[in-house]
Amino acid sequence: MVESIPIAETPAAGRFFKFFNELGRVFVEREGLLRQIALALLAREHVLMTGPPGTAKSAIASAVLRRILDESTGAPSVFARQFTESTVQTDLVGPVDFKTLMQTGRTEYFTDEGMLGAVHAFLDEVLDGRDMLLRTTLNVLHERELKQGTFTTKGAIECALMTTNRYLAEVLETSRETLLAFIDRIAFIAFVPKSFADSANFTQVLRTQVGGVGRPRLDSLLTIQDLDVLQAAVDAVFVPDEVCDAMGALIEALDRELSSTARSDPSFFPTRYLSTRTAVRLGRVLRAATVLRRITRGGAEEATFEDLSMLRYSLLLCGPPREAVDSLLARETDPRERRQLSIMKVESSIFDAVLARLPKPVPKPAPQAALYSVDELARTVEDVKKEAEPAKLLRTVEKLAKAADAGGRDAPRAASLLADTLEALGGRALEKGLAGGAGELPVDKVVDDLSNLAGQLEKASGTTRPIARWLRGRAMSLLEEHVSLGFANMGAWLDEGHATVRPLESSDAMLAALEKLVAEHAKLRAEGAETPEKAADAPFARAAARLEDQLVVLWDGELQRAVRAALLGKEADRLDAVVDALEPHLEHVDRTAQRLEALGATPLAFKSRVLGPRIRPLLEAAFEGIDTRDRLLLIERTSSVLERLEAVGLGRVLTRSELLALMAKVLLRTERAQHPVRSPSAKGYRDLRSAEQRVSLTYTLLVTAFRVSHDAASSPAEYDARIADLHEVLERIPAELRDEVVRVDIERIGRAVTLLEQFWESLRGPIESACTSGDATALFVALDDTRKSRFFHVVYDEGAFARFALEARLVGEGFPAARERTTALRTRIDELEARSSGLLARLRSGHADAVWSDILAMGRS
């Protein structure tokens, strides 16, 4: 039970009685307000004091809150703030944590420095705050917490005393919705008039506050711990069904009468809104009223019909008693004051009339025998507490919950026994969680047990959710340890290893085992396991990487067998045969890669690790078998090979630079090392062209890179970008291969240019002599010899100059490091073209001049 002696006899109740008795002697004609504050402290509710300035509202709040001390500190736990239009949220909830804001971008507050960090609060002129501030205040007061995105900060605040100099009738009639919502959530609202009903009381105030040494002594103290004791008693008050029914009838009748009066009297405006929230809140007020009655007057421990009269302090705007209101109205001239007093008088009269008309309830007959005997359940609890397994405790919890929910006299005892049993159950669960995994049971069985126990705990009661979340967190930790240290089954894998003849079944079984653990881990987290802020996913990533290592070896062995069988007896089309052999397995490899990726492995890593090291030598072997003498045919063949690989999902196993490096290596191996000297003639040039490759290595590599590129272009800028990308691909070929390709191509162009230079030198002397002599016969012979040499047919008609100039330019663009050498080649070609074409022009001009001289001589003869 909550208490072992009557609450009125406890030290806390005695101090509470003395505390408010002393306040009543000092603050005369404020009995109703003090009664509201007492109820608010017991029910953990809030009080709003309204009325004109100078009526001691703040003095009462100070006299109450500064004398409720915390035993642990010896000081009050009070937050105080005066509201103005400039008051902001941080003034209420606490300053912003700028370190967290700068590091994470998340706004958090030091709430221990705001209202949430204190048990009590004094908010002066609270209705002067802006709407946004009032909404925050409303949430803090009503929910006792601060919501910031996904974070909720719980507070210690229990009771706030608030003041305003405004009249409640005016606020309700003319103010914005935020104020109406704010007032509706305040359990107790008081009106403190500016005058005293009895002039003798005014004289007493003067004597008390001014006479003698001034200001009365308030010696009685109360502690927060005293209030904790009394609030526990409030929570334990039993409210019989007949009293609940009477309270419902009171609320309905009062609401009906107030509405009827408002319709018939335009000057009347009800000061309270009676909602479902109001009715639920009145349940706490009624329990607090029962405890307050027991403290001051004694009587029954449970709520009674007579206690309903105390609900006026929450259902009405409270102030002076009705006889005092009549006296105040008789001499009051302020229309606002008169209107507020008049409304109070009407509401009070309606409440008294409604309460008087309520039939006094007849106690209901004793309920039928309870489904479970609480005495028997208590004995059962003591017996099963000694057992290690929590199963019987769980069954007992179900029975106790039903007994507590059934109502009746034994319900509070059943509820108390339920709380004790749940505490014992939590201890058993804690013990099981601590020992989990250290025994002989398999880890997956222990995890299942902890998960099932957590689920049963949550079903038993919401109060056991923290231990249920802790158990799931322990289960998650066990899974993480298991996948880190015990999941791999290395011994069994070594027994079978890559020699297994069923890679698909083996890999599926290994993947399924890890997937099951990952799914269980995710399920525990989704069910609310208590985990660190950053959940430990690293063990599963490590397990996935370790499993990937095993599967790479397993599938490599399977591919070995498939390729070996495909290559036996095959001399031609080896690559096609290999692809045909691999294709049935590739779908399974892809699916395995996807499952590994879902488990946390690196995307595409598995397929690349399985196939990448094997595809390269296979392609090398394929290229070895391709006729590289016709490089245009080689480009077509390579493109066809790559399309075939793309069709089976292997198109990107090798990068473009790796493919080009492979092609360059094969091409360079087939490049002739010996190049016989050719005669400097047209025949010698054509023999050289026949002996040399017709297409350069650079051209072959660039066109191949273009063919295997997956990018499209539709504008000049995109064309330039694509060409630049192709050049970057060439740059990623290993340096030694790039240098060798450049050397071969430049030497090939150089041999042709050298032969053309020698060819021209063999012609240049006779031509220059003929041009110098100006002899017609010599010029004719030189021109005829030049024609017969076919030099200009080769360099212009057959395009030797243009071809080798373009090839040099292509090498320079594809390999920027070779640009100086290709520029030198191009300079040689340009100079040879200028020299040869210039001398030819002189020869043709001289020959023409000689012919014209002969013609003119004939005319003179």
526-552 pLDDT tens trace:
777 766 655 566 777 777 777 877 788
Q: Rounded to an integer, what distance in angstroms lies between the CA atom of residue 239 and that of residue 231?
A: 16
Beta-strand relationship, 151-154 and 145-148: antiparallel
Q: What is the C-alpha separation between 152 and 154, in angstroms, rounded?
A: 6
- Model pTM greater than 0.85? no
Confidence of residue 498 (pLDDT cuts 50, 70, 90): very low
Same domain flag for 502 and 460: no
Instruction: Give helix then strand counts, H and E, for the chain.
Output: 35, 10
Please tell me the predicted confidence (pLDDT) of residue 820. Answer: 92
Contact status, residue 216 vs residue 73, Cβ threshold 8 Å: no
pLDDT at 825: 92
Q: How many CA atoms lie within 13 A of 29 on its CB side?
A: 24
Q: Are 45 and 87 in contact (CB under 8 A)?
A: no
Same domain, 127 and 157: yes
pLDDT in tens, 740-793: 889 998 998 999 999 999 999 999 999 999 898 888 888 888 888 989 999 999
Q: Using the predicted structure, report yes or no on whether residue 405 has a pLDDT greater than 80.
A: no
The secondary structure of residue 105, as a DSSP letter, is S
Question: In the prediction, which pLDDT does 553 show?
Answer: 77
Q: Give the model's pLDDT for residue 512.
A: 82
Out of 37-46, 210-219, 659-668, least confident range: 210-219
Looking at the fold, whether 300 and 199 belong to one and the same domain comes out as yes
Of the candidates 548, 567, 568, 573, the one whose C-alpha atom is nearest the C-alpha of residue 614 is 567
638 is a domain residue: no
Query: Could you tell me the pLDDT band of residue 417, with boundaries at 50, 70 and 90?
Result: confident
Query: Is residue 273 scored above 80 in pLDDT?
Result: no
* Residue 5 pLDDT > 70: no
Q: Which of the given ranges, 33-47, 810-824, 846-860, has the highest pLDDT on average?
A: 33-47
Higher local confidence (pLDDT), 362 or 119 = 119
Determine the pLDDT at residue 612. 67
**Do 479 and 518 sit in the same domain of this protein?**
no
Residue 683: predicted pLDDT: 92
Question: What pLDDT sits at residue 368?
Answer: 45
Is the pLDDT at 68 greater than 70? The verdict is: yes
Long-range contacts of 591-597 (CB under 8 A, 24+ apart): 592/507, 592/511, 592/551, 592/555, 595/511, 595/515, 596/511, 596/544, 596/547, 596/548, 596/551
Above 90 in pLDDT, residue 420?
no
Residue 563 falls inside a structural domain: yes
What is residue 391's predicted lDDT score, i.e. its pLDDT?
66
Average pLDDT estimate for 111-116: 82
Domain boundary among 485, 511, 534: 485
657 within domain boundaries: no
Which pLDDT does position 834 carry in this prediction? 92
Mean per-residue pLDDT for 46-65?
Answer: 91
Residue 656 falls inside a structural domain: no
Residue 324: pLDDT band by 50, 70, 90 thresholds?
A: confident
540 vs 48, which has greater pLDDT? 48
3-state secondary structure of 411: helix
At residue 4, the pLDDT reads: 44
Calculate mean pLDDT across residues 491-504: 55
- Domain check: are 421 and 505 in the same one? no
Rounded to an integer, the average pLDDT of 147-153 is 72
CA atoms of 247 and 286, how far apart (whole Å) = 9
Q: What percent of the chain has pLDDT over 70?
A: 73
How many CB atoms lie under 10 A from the CB of residue 763? 21
Dihedral angle over CA of 739, 744, 748, 751, nearest 10: 80
Mean pLDDT in the chain? 78
Q: Please, what is the end-to-end C-alpha distance for the chain in angstroms? A: 155
Domain's final residue, options 432, 462, 485:
485
What contacts 24+ positions apart, CB below 8 Å, involve 33-38?
33/60, 33/190, 33/192, 33/318, 33/319, 34/60, 35/292, 35/310, 35/313, 35/318, 36/188, 36/190, 36/313, 36/314, 36/318, 37/64, 37/161, 37/188, 38/292
Q: Are residues 464 and 428 in the same domain?
A: yes
* Same domain for 513 and 470: no
Helix (H) or strand (E) holding 93: helix 89-93
Whether 125 and 201 map to the same domain: the answer is yes
Q: What whole-number distance in Å separates Cα of residue 92 and Cα of residue 109?
A: 10
Residue 2 predicted with pLDDT over 50: no
Please give the pLDDT value at position 328: 84
Q: Which amino acid belongs to residue 595?
A: R
Identify whether residues 313 and 396 lie together within a single domain.
no
Determine, yes or no, domain membership for 285.
yes
- On whether both 479 and 566 belong to a single domain, the answer is no
- What does the pLDDT average to over 43-48? 93
Final residue before a domain boundary, out of 485, 502, 523: 485
- Mean pLDDT of the 338-349 span: 88
What integer is the mean pLDDT of 164-172? Answer: 83
Q: Is the pLDDT of residue 238 over 80?
A: yes
What pLDDT was estimated at residue 47?
A: 94
Reported confidence tier of residue 386, pLDDT bands at 50, 70, 90: low
Residue 46 is encoded by which pair of tokens?
Answer: 């809030």
Q: Is there a domain that residue 474 lies in? A: yes
Q: Is pLDDT of 505 > 70?
A: yes
Between 732 and 8, name the one with better pLDDT. 732
Give CA–CA dist 621/152, Å, rounded: 66
Give residue-wise pLDDT tens across range 303-323.
999 999 999 999 898 888 888
Residues 426 and 528 reside in one and the same domain = no
**Statement: residue 1 has pLDDT above 50:** no
For residue 212, being part of any structural domain is answered with yes
When comparing pLDDT for 709 and 156, which is higher? 156
Structural domain range at position 601: 490-625
Residue with the larger pLDDT of the pair 270 and 346: 346
Q: Are residues 687 and 606 in the same domain?
A: no
Under the banding of pLDDT at 50, 70 and 90, the label for residue 695 is confident
For residue 734, the 8-state DSSP code is -
Residue 727 lies in a domain: no
CATH assignment of the domain containing 284:
3.40.50.300
What pLDDT is stored for residue 434 in this prediction? Answer: 56
Residue 616 confidence class, pLDDT cut points 50, 70, 90 = low
Query: Number of structural domains, the chain?
Result: 4
pLDDT at 603 over 70: no
Residue 214 has pLDDT above 60, yes or no: no
The pLDDT of residue 828 is: 94
